[in-house]
Chain A
């Protein structure tokens, strides 16, 4: 137990020794604020006069989004759009060790490498939570006033909203761990950054959208990590957009909350175990 505590202490100090974690937290807060404000305005507008015009133009009755659902989607923009941030954080913490060859020192101090891995995982989960919190501060800070101003409520007094906050930070925390596994596997820092950005910002959204054309692909796509995150958090602009179209196959129902968490955790476990198998337990010179 003491060995784990020492390892956690050292790994936490390692994170605090550079600016990376709070720079990413600030970026996420800003990004979440922007996206939350944008969607709060959109939902507000849809349920207001703009929505009627919009609905008329589409030849359908205005689809007023219920206040709780609107608030959930606004606050969930932290995960829907921001999961790349803890992913990058975890990945950079891994590639930093490999690039600067500091893993040997960690393994000299604590020769039981499983303990070092555990310490690292605990610290990444912890800082993932913090980064998620920063995102929520941004999303609530910009989203709630916007929702308030546009006659929907900010819904900050409902347990549903607060449970969503909890799921958001847990999801962000797990993404930090996935990032760590990816970083250990890919090793090259620049390539890891490019991969994380391209996958989360381009490949996955395109796959998720494109997969909706066939039922089998839609069934597969819900197991993509971003889709699982949205399922776990339980609200996402991306999921809701597609569910507005009734022509989608019924099989494309997203995973349940617990199913989403399970898939997300499975990604984390596989990524970390793959890192363990390929590099962590091998020879370090």
Chain B
């Protein structure tokens, strides 16, 4: 069964709470060395799915394995999987006490606490009670707890929610480094824009069932009409003509950036090269990706 050591594999997972079908025949995988974004609106079953992966919720049918084994069957699960399902702490515990409790439960030497506090930049606040922590600090503490056992698989529920821009940049780099080290990173979010610059693979669920699974690039490519923003300084007018000649639809030639549809970024770059026009800006219109995500979760076929 189950492939590589760090692969998270969800197969036909279903769970009902009363009459609500929280998760319905869901299948996807998260691979080592990649960051997988698990996306869907609030209440779409993300947390329930992750809870089933961690053995906290018993599925009605289907299975979730890590390296081929159910979580509960792992010999020392916290050394393989680091997870944070919700940044919940006892408000009277200090950050350091929280990590010490987790550390003892996993069976690790005391030194890991200072190390991981340092890693997430929480050393200064470690001896304060978590009740007084900001959301960003709670996220960092939860991350430190998940990282205590230096796990191969990192599962985080909404880890970016509540972080300030600096924190978002920090966690992006942090998760990227983990993936580059060959670890499996699975993180959930209700906003694509939040993780768009972080994830390699995307799993989108809608009302508990799979709406899309694939790479972020494929999601961008497959989203039908897609706009590219391009600017070329003084040569903007000439570029617009060239793009139109190539079949592109160009808007806003006089503005800072032109909005081009019907052409992909690669083609636009090539045309500019052929025309010997230096580009000052070239990007995919972000809101468009978000829009295709919104279509996915709204259940519209694109």
B199 to chain A, nearest CB (A): 23
Q: How large is the interface on B (under 10, 10 to 19, 20 to 34, 35 or more residues)?
A: 20 to 34
Query: Contacting chain B: which of A12-20, A136-144, A192-200?
Result: A12-20
Instruction: Name 30 A/B residue pairs within 8 A (Cβ), A-sorted.
Output: A6-B104, A6-B105, A7-B105, A9-B105, A10-B101, A10-B102, A13-B97, A13-B101, A13-B104, A14-B90, A17-B92, A17-B93, A17-B98, A18-B92, A96-B90, A100-B90, A102-B88, A102-B90, A104-B86, A105-B85, A105-B102, A105-B145, A108-B77, A109-B77, A109-B102, A283-B58, A284-B51, A285-B48, A285-B51, A285-B56
Asked whether B296 is an interface residue with its Cβ less than 8 Å from the other chain, the reply is: no
Contacts of B77 in A (CB 8 A): 108-109, 111
- Assess the B78–A109 pair: CB atoms within 8 A: yes
Asked whether A279 is an interface residue with its Cβ less than 8 Å from the other chain, the reply is: no
Q: Which residue of A lies closest to B145 (CB)?
A: A105
Asked whether B200 is an interface residue with its Cβ less than 8 Å from the other chain, the reply is: no
A5 to chain B, nearest CB (A): 8
Are A17 and B94 also in contact (CB < 8 A) when A6-B104, A109-B102 are? yes
A272 to B157, CA, bound (A): 31
How many A residues have CB within 8 A of the partner chain? Answer: 26
- Assess the B88–A104 pair: CB atoms within 8 A: yes
Residues A1-35 near B (CB distance < 8 A): 2, 6-7, 9-10, 13-14, 17-19
Q: Which 3 A-B pairs have the closest CB atoms?
A: A10-B105, A111-B72, A109-B105
Contacts of A10 in B (CB 8 A): 101-102, 104-105
- Assess the A284–B92 pair: CB atoms within 8 A: no
- Assess the A283–B57 pair: CB atoms within 8 A: yes
- Give a binary string over B96-136; 1 marks a CB under 8 Å from any A CB, 0 the rest: 01101110111100000000000000000000000000000
A18 to B57, CA, bound (A): 29
A109 to chain B, nearest CB (A): 4
- Assess the A106–B105 pair: CB atoms within 8 A: yes
- Assess the A110–B71 pair: CB atoms within 8 A: no
- Which A residues contact B (CB, under 8 angstroms)? 2, 6-7, 9-10, 13-14, 17-19, 96, 100-102, 104-112, 283-285
Q: Which residue of B lies closest to A283 (CB)?
A: B57
B135 to chain A, nearest CB (A): 16
A6 to B77, CA, bound (A): 13
Contacts of A19 in B (CB 8 A): 92
B214 to chain A, nearest CB (A): 28
Identify A285's interface contact among B47, B71, B91, CB under 8 A. B47
B287 to chain A, nearest CB (A): 33
Contacts of A102 in B (CB 8 A): 88-90
Asked whether B55 is an interface residue with its Cβ less than 8 Å from the other chain, the reply is: yes
- Assess the A6–B145 pair: CB atoms within 8 A: no
A238 to chain B, nearest CB (A): 35
A7 to B78, CA, bound (A): 13
- Assess the A18–B90 pair: CB atoms within 8 A: yes
Contacts of B89 in A (CB 8 A): 100, 102
Contacts of A107 in B (CB 8 A): 55-56
Q: Which residue of A lies closest to B75 (CB)?
A: A3
B58 to chain A, nearest CB (A): 6
Asked whether B83 is an interface residue with its Cβ less than 8 Å from the other chain, the reply is: yes
- Assess the A284–B56 pair: CB atoms within 8 A: yes
Q: Which residue of A lies closest to B92 (CB)?
A: A18
- Assess the B104–A9 pair: CB atoms within 8 A: yes
A49 to B69, CA, bound (A): 79
Given contacts A17-B98, A111-B72, 9 further A-B contacts (CB under 8 A): A10-B104, A18-B93, A100-B90, A101-B86, A102-B88, A104-B85, A105-B88, A111-B77, A283-B58
B108 to chain A, nearest CB (A): 10
Choose among A10, A105, A284 the residue with the greatest number of B CB atoms under 10 Å from its CB.
Answer: A105
Contacts of B104 in A (CB 8 A): 6, 9-10, 13
Q: Which residue of B lies closest to A107 (CB)?
A: B56
A158 to B113, CA, bound (A): 50
A136 to chain B, nearest CB (A): 28
Asked whether B154 is an interface residue with its Cβ less than 8 Å from the other chain, the reply is: no
A108 to B156, CA, bound (A): 13
A198 to chain B, nearest CB (A): 25
- Assess the A6–B107 pair: CB atoms within 8 A: yes
Are A2 and B58 also in contact (CB < 8 A) when A102-B90, A104-B86, A108-B77 are? no
Contacts of A14 in B (CB 8 A): 90, 93, 101
Asked whether B54 is an interface residue with its Cβ less than 8 Å from the other chain, the reply is: yes
A209 to B57, CA, bound (A): 47
B147 to chain A, nearest CB (A): 14
Choose among A96, A102, A106 the residue with the greatest number of B CB atoms under 10 Å from its CB.
Answer: A102
- Assess the B107–A17 pair: CB atoms within 8 A: no
Contacts of B56 in A (CB 8 A): 104, 107-108, 283-285
Contacts of A7 in B (CB 8 A): 105
Contacts of B93 in A (CB 8 A): 14, 17-18
Q: Which residue of A lies closest to B74 (CB)?
A: A111
A274 to B104, CA, bound (A): 28
A109 to B90, CA, bound (A): 16
A284 to B47, CA, bound (A): 11
- Assess the A2–B90 pair: CB atoms within 8 A: no
A258 to B46, CA, bound (A): 53
Contacts of A2 in B (CB 8 A): 107
- Assess the A6–B91 pair: CB atoms within 8 A: no
A205 to chain B, nearest CB (A): 32
A6 to chain B, nearest CB (A): 5
